[in-house]
Amino acid sequence: MLLLLRAIGAMIVFLSLANVANAKGFVEYWPDADYDPAIPTIESVLGYRSGERITWHRDTIRYFEALAAAAPDRITLHRYAESWEGRELIYAVISSPRNMARIDDVKANMQRLADPRLTSSAQATSIIADQPAVTWLSYSVHGNEISSTDAAMMTAYHLLASRGDARVADILRDTVVVIDPVQNPDGRDRFIHRFEIAEGLEPSADLISAEHNEPWPSGRTNHYLFDMNRDWFIQTQPESQGRVRILQEWYPVAFVDAHEMGSNATYYFSPEAVPFNPHLAKDQTDSLELFGRTNAYWFDQFGLDYFTREIFDAFYPGYGASWPSYFGGIAMTYEQASARGLVVRKYDGVEMTYRDTVRNQFITSLGTAQTVAENREKLLTDFYDYQVTAIDEGRTESIKSYIVPTQDDQAAADKMAGLLVRQGVDVGRATETFSACGESYAAGSYVINLAQPRKRLIRTLLDVDVPMDDEFVSEQERRRAKNIRDQIYDVTAWSLPLMMNVRTDACNRAVRIDSEDAGPELVLPGSISGGQGSVAYLVPWSSAPAVRLLAHALRGGMRAKSSDLAFTHDGRRYPAGTVIIDTADNQGDLRSTMEELARRTGAEVIAVDDSWVTDGPNFGSMNVVRFNAPKVAILWDTPTSSYSAGNTRFVIERQFDYPVTAIRVSTLVHGDLSGYDVLIMPEARPDYGPAIGEDVVAKLKDWVERGGVLIGVGNANRFLADPKVDLLAIRRENAVVESEDENGDKKPKKANGEDAEEPTVEGSYVTSDDEYKAKITAEKGAPDSVAGVLVKANVDPDHWLGAGAASTLNVLVRGPDIYTPIRLDKGVNVAVFESADELLASGYMWEQNRKQLAYKPFAVAQPAGRGFVVAFTQDPNVRAYLDGLNVIFMNAIMRGSAHARPVR
C-alpha cells in the first residue's frame, strides 16, 4: 500500500514538474546531457529519478557503492566516522584515472604544500606544476536541509558519466573532487522518517502541512541534538572529529558546506557577508568572488535567482564555512531555499519542487569544481603562500608565542593542548623549567610558538578577543537605536582559554626550550599517589576528571562522601568538595578499582593510611556529606529547546559518563517523579508557561519539598521565577530606561508615564533627540538581546554549589535575560556577575546590558523544604564547550542531591 502511495505521489510530482520545468528531459539537469550507460543512474539503483524522493542515508551509500563498482578507476569510497546511532559516514574521491593511480602522492603533495618549513618555494612550484587541486563538497550537515545529499549523488554521477559537458574532463584532470554526501546521517534519517509518516495520496505544497513541519527535535541536529555546524573547533561530536581528521589528510583548496534556508528565499553563495574574521588572509576573501561569479554565470543560464553578501558571515570559526579556511583553502557556505518535502508553495504562490532544489545544489557543486579546475595553479599557489605568510606573521607580530603554565586545573590545560594538536597545531610540552616574558614556568607547561602554518587558527582560538570590523559595529549600534534587528549572526566570543578556564599567557618572544610534542589525547591517564589506602582514597575536587571519577564510582555502586570545607591532611591542603572514599565502606579490591578509575577518568587520587586531619573537618564531620548516586532526569520534547536539552544530556552522559533519563514535558501531568533525585529543566522555546499547568507546578513544589533538586537552565528560569509559579524567589528584569538628570548624569527612569485609563494624555514639548528617543522607547521592554559574549562571574566559596569551581568563571551570556539577585533570607547567590567595569571578558556587548548585568546572579541556590531549586541564569552547557562551568554545574547534580534530605 505504501509503495502504491509512493508511486502515485511520484507520478504527481512528475506531472507537476513537467509543467514547471523546461522540457529538457528528466534524468539529467544539464541541457543536452549525454551520459555513459555503463555508469548506473540513480533510478537504476534506487528505483526513482533524482529529485523524486528524498534519499535515505543507507540508499545514498548504496548508490555510491554502485558508482564505485562501475568505475573503480575514477572513484573510491572511504569510511571516516560512525554516528551515535551507528550510521557510517563516508566520503567519495573522484578524479581522472591518472590522478587516482597516484592518489597517495597527490595527498602527500598537499601535506608538503601545507608546511613550508619542509617544502621550499622552489619545491612548491615544482609540486604545483603537476598537482590536481582538491575540491571538497560537503552536504547536509543539517539533516533537515535535504536537497544537497541528492545533489551529491547527481554530481558524482555527472562527473563519472557525462560525455556532453566539456568541463568534466578538465575537472577530472585538474582537480580531485571529494564528496561527503551525508554529514549528519542521524538527523537526515530522522527528517525523512517523519516526512514519510506524514505523506498522503499526493504531496502537499502547503507550508503548514505536516510534511513541512517537523516534530521536536528537528532533523537539523545529530543524535545529541548538536548543531554540528558550530562544532568544528571544539569537536565534541564523533562526526566532527572524523571530518577534522580527514581534512588534514587532503587539504582542499575549496571547501563547500551546502545548506538550506527558509522556503521563501532563493539561493545564496559567496562572497560572504561582513564581518570577516580578521584572521582570514586577504587573498582568501578575494577568491570568494571567483566562485561566486562562476555560480552566478550558471544561474543566469538557467534563469535562477540568487543573492550574495547578506546574512551568512564567516566570523565565528566553528562553521564548515570558516574552520577549513584556517588551513589555507577557501571555505564557503551555499544555501538553497528548502522545499522541506517534495514540493512547497512560496509566499508569492510559486511552487518550488524538491527537484528544483536538488538541481540548484548540483549546479553550484559543478560550478565550484569548475572554478577550482580553472584556477588550479592560483589556488594551489595561494594555499602554499597562506602557510608562508602565516609563519611570517607568527615571527613578526606582537604575540609570538602562547604559554600554558601548569595550573590547578591541569586536566583542562591538557585537554586544550590536545584539542589544538587535533587541529594541526604544533604544541610543545616543556621538559625543563624556563623563564619567558618575565615569568618562570614549570616543566610540563605547554608552549605554542606562532611561527607555524596554523598561526591564524591559533590566534583566532586563543586570543582573548577577536574584534569585529569597526564599521560593522557602528552599523549595528545605529540599527539597534532604531529597533532594527542587528546583523550579528552568532556569538562574538569563543576564546578557548576563557571558555575552558585555562590560564594562557601571550608572550612577545618565541620560546626556545627543550620540549616534547604534545599528543592529541584529551584526557591523560590519572594515577594514585600517597600510601596504601588502608583508610581512604581522596580525590581533590577542582577539575572535570574528579567529577568523572565520582560519577563512575557512584554508578559502580561504591560509597563516597565529600567535605564541604577545605581541610589539611598530612601537610597537604585539600579543596572544599574533595571526595573521600572510605576503604571500610567499600568491598572488594578497592586499590585496583581506584587505579582503574584514576587511569580511565584522568583524576588525581591520593591514598591515605590515617584519617588525622590537622585543619578543617574530619572525615566523619557533619561538614562531610554522603553521596547518594542520584537518579537524574531532564525535561525533553516540546517546549524545551532541543539544543539545550540535548547538549546538557550530552555533557552529563558523555563527558561525565553518568546516565540521564529524558522525560517529556507532557508526561509530567501523570508521571511519578518520586524515583528521581534531580530534575533538570533545560532552556525552552519559547517558554514553559503554556505547557506546565498549575497542577504540575504544585507537583514540582511538592517533589522539591520532599527532597528533590530542581535545576533551571537559562531561560527556564523565566518560568521558575514567574510570580505565578514562584518556584524561585528571583525575578526577571525589564530594561532600565535611562534619562539625563539636571547634572547630565544618566539615571534609570520610567518611560513616558502615559496613563492608560484616559482617552487622551498630557501634552509635552520634545526639545532634544534624547527626549525623543525616550518618548519612543518601549515601556517595560526586556533588555536588548546579546548575541553571545563571555562575561566574568565570581563564585562564593562557602557554598556547596561553588566548591571546587574556579573563583572567577567565564559565562557565555546570550539573549535578553537578566535576573534580580536572591535575598539572603530566601537563598544564596553562589555565582554573581562582576561589576560593570570588570564584567566583559570577550566579545561585543551592548553598553546597557553590561551596566545592567553587573552584580546580577549567574548561579542561585534556594532551599525549599528538604530539597533545593538551583538556577543557572545562562546555559552552562551551550555546545558543550564551556568546560570552565563543568564543576559548578555538576555540583548542582552530585552535591545538590547529597545535600538534599529526601523523604525515603
Site for Zn ion, rule CB under 5 A: 142, 145, 259
Residue pair 848/736 in contact by the 8 Å Cβ criterion: yes
Spatial distance between the Cα atoms of 642 and 659, rounded to a whole number of angstroms: 18
Nearer to Zn ion, 145 or 356 (CB): 145
CB atoms within 10 A of CB 271: 19
Q: Least distance in Å: CB of 137 to Zn ion?
A: 15
Spatial distance between the Cα atoms of 153 and 61, rounded to a whole number of angstroms: 9
Nearer to Zn ion, 214 or 521 (CB): 214
Q: Least distance in Å: CB of 144 to Zn ion?
A: 9
Nearer to Zn ion, 189 or 817 (CB): 189
Residue pair 649/224 in contact by the 8 Å Cβ criterion: yes
Q: Least distance in Å: CB of 554 to Zn ion?
A: 39
Q: Least distance in Å: CB of 336 to Zn ion?
A: 10
Q: Least distance in Å: CB of 260 to Zn ion?
A: 6
Side-by-side strand order, sheet with 428-430: 505-507, 401-404, 446-449, 428-430, 515-517
Q: Least distance in Å: CB of 184 to Zn ion?
A: 10
Helix axes 376-396, 455-462, angle to 10 degrees: 60
Nearer to Zn ion, 142 or 814 (CB): 142
- Residue appearing with cell numbers 577534522: 244
Longest dimension (CA), the chain: 89
Nearer to Zn ion, 647 or 842 (CB): 647
Spatial distance between the Cα atoms of 223 and 225, rounded to a whole number of angstroms: 5
Beta bridge partners of 626: 561
Nearer to Zn ion, 141 or 822 (CB): 141
Nearer to Zn ion, 142 or 459 (CB): 142
Nearer to Zn ion, 145 or 875 (CB): 145
Q: Least distance in Å: CB of 850 to Zn ion?
A: 31
Of all helices (H) and strands (E), which one includes residue 360?
A: helix 354-374
Residue 364 contacts by C-beta under 8 Å, 6 or more apart in sequence? 256, 258, 267, 269, 295, 298, 334
DSSP letters along 35-98, please?
B-TTSPPHHHHHSS-TTTSPPPHHHHHHHHHHHHHH-TTTEEEEEEEE-TTS-EEEEEEE--HH
Residue pair 232/319 in contact by the 8 Å Cβ criterion: yes
**Which grid cell is 839?**
564584567
Nearer to Zn ion, 145 or 677 (CB): 145
Spatial distance between the Cα atoms of 124 and 114, rounded to a whole number of angstroms: 10
Asked whether the CA dihedral 123, 128, 130, 131 is positive or negative, the reply is: positive
Q: Least distance in Å: CB of 356 to Zn ion?
A: 18
Q: Least distance in Å: CB of 257 to Zn ion?
A: 8
Nearer to Zn ion, 224 or 251 (CB): 224
Q: Least distance in Å: CB of 665 to Zn ion?
A: 27
Give SS3 for 206.
coil
Amino acid letter for position 189:
D
Of all helices (H) and strands (E), which one includes residue 866?
A: none
Nearer to Zn ion, 142 or 792 (CB): 142
Nearer to Zn ion, 212 or 259 (CB): 259
Q: Least distance in Å: CB of 182 to Zn ion?
A: 14
Judged on CB neighbours under 10 Å (0-12, 13-18, 19+), 33 is middle
- Residue appearing with cell numbers 519559547: 686
Q: Least distance in Å: CB of 262 to Zn ion?
A: 11
Please give the residue whose beta carbon sits closest to Zn ion in the complex.
259
Spatial distance between the Cα atoms of 299 and 64, rounded to a whole number of angstroms: 27
